[in-house]
Structure 1
Amino acid sequence: MFEHLRKPWKRLIAPIARGLVSIGVTANVVTIVGAAGTVLVSIITGITGWLLPGAIVLTILVIFDSLDGSVAALSGGGTQFGAFLDSTLDRIADWAILAGVIIFFHRLIATSSSNDINYWPEIGMYAALFSVMTSFVTSYARARAEAEGFDAKNGIATRSDRLVIILVGMALTGVGLPPAILACCMILLAILGVVTVWQRIWHVSQSMSTSPKPADPSHE
């Protein structure tokens, strides 16, 4: 949904990327620092329950992480290893953000009174757990399709869409709205994840049926 904003966004952050290049920061450093910061802040946010500060810092880190491609372009172009590293660490960052949400809900459940009848934390936690799976399968479907020589970038919820849904849900709950808001965002994320996986499978299926390639028996 937000993929059409990629080019305007790249133009917006170009001055920051030029500043990083001028002081000798490489694209790989940007990638590693962004991922490490995301993991640390996500876990701390889940444990402390400080959702609004966590959402703000994570948004900054997401912006910082998006700089690696621009820094690479300004430094003479990216490398194959840089692209591999970025994709790999993005998966770790995705897991960490959802892990933070899961920890937050788990702590709510653990500290709630037995007299409280509120199923939203449990619903949110299970929806977030399910979204971990759809997030990874969405990325794997694209990587596997590309390994077979096909494109699978389509889908209603790409990584940027997923991050927006999570961070908005965290911020809204962090300003005082009930945890049900974040739980509903996790439900939306889970549903869109299923739709996106199906869209990519369907797209690759149609592509392979019109332009089949011989299967490689070494692939599992």
Structure 2
Amino acid sequence: MLNRYARAFFTRVFTPVARLLLRLGIGPDTVTIVGTLGVVVGALAFFPRGQLLVGVLVITAFVFSDTIDGVMARMQGRTGVWGAYLDSTLDRFGDAAIFAGLAIWYFEGGDDRVMALLALACLILGSLVSYAKARAEGVGLTANVGIAERADRLVATLVATGLVGLGVPDVLLKVVLALLLVASAITVAQRMLTVRRQALVGV
């Protein structure tokens, strides 16, 4: 949902940044890689130590690279297979780092096994959401449906985590993760049913 409504806005916002980076000789692949490294470091260096707000701020500073690299690629006329593949693959690293960092903290210093298990479940279901779409495209079908796309899951998780880092009770993050878990499971089911309908029509 956020992908549809926010893409145009952030494209306008980050176009000057993308233009500047291209003038400096920095390519979109470099921005993709640096952005992913920043997200991974922010999640795994700060979340496991309970520094949730700092981790969210670092991640947020780098997560917009996912938009900037796309703008840069379009400016260069390089919207090809490699860029899309690199971007999608590295997104999985960033997402995994965020939920793994939360799981580590709540298994250890945070001392909340339920929260840790919810974070791990969101990591797994989030990967399945992405896989369901990628596998559909791999067999020549589409699965562009679902109530919990990547942007939705990421924003909800980071906002809730940041608020907990500011002192809001942990129960907020627990509720958000539980809702994301349910929404992700529904999204996987939606994508599977969509692919099934397409496959049966093709028979």
Using the size of structure 1 for normalisation, the TM-score is 0.87
The one-letter code matched in structure 2 to 1:174 is G
Aligned twin of 1:67 = 68
What's the CA shift for 1:27? 0.8
Structure 2 unmatched ranges of 5 or more? none
Tell whether the 8 Å contact from 2:49 to 2:109 is kept in structure 1 after alignment.
Answer: no
Match of 2:128 in 1: 137
Gaps (5+ residues) in structure 1?
A: 111-120, 213-220
Looking at structure 1, the residues matched to 82 and 91 of structure 2 have their Cα atoms a distance apart, in angstroms, of 14
Q: Which residue number in structure 1 is paired with residue 143 of structure 2? A: 152
Runs of 4+ in 1 over 3 A off after TM superposition: none
Look up the equivalent residue of 1:154 and give its one-letter code: V
One of 190, 199, 214 as aligned partner of 2:181: 190
Q: Which residue of 2 aligns with 1:174?
A: 165
Given that 1:142 and 1:151 are in contact with CA atoms closer than 8 Å, whether structure 2 keeps it comes out as: yes
Partner of residue 203 from structure 1, selected from 191, 194, 198: 194
- State the Cα distance separating 1:149 from its structure 2 match: 1.1
- CA root-mean-square deviation: 1.3
The percentage of counterpart residues that share the same residue type is 37
- 1:91 and 1:103 map into 2 onto residues whose CA distance is 18
Q: Which has the larger radius of gyration?
A: 1
* Corresponding residue SS for 2:109: helix
Aligned partners of 1:55, 1:46: CA distance in 2, in Å?
A: 8
Count, aligned residues: 202
Contact 2:27–2:72 (CA<8 Å) still a contact in 1?
A: yes
Cα distance, 1:148 vs structure 2: 1.2
Report if aligned partners of 1:125, 1:183 keep a CA contact under 8 Å in 2. Answer: no
CA contact 2:53–2:161 (8 Å) conserved in 1 = yes
- Could you give the per-residue CA deviations for residues 110-157 of structure 1, whole angstroms, max 9, x where no partner exists? 5xxxxxxxxxx2221111111111111111111110111111121001
Q: Deviations over 1:64-93 (max 9, x none)?
A: 232111111112223322221111111111
Does the 8 Å CA contact 2:50/2:110 hold for their aligned counterparts? Answer: no
User: What are the equivalent positions in structure 2 for 1:1-220 lying under 5 Å apart?
Assistant: 1-5=1-5, 6-110=7-111, 121-212=112-203
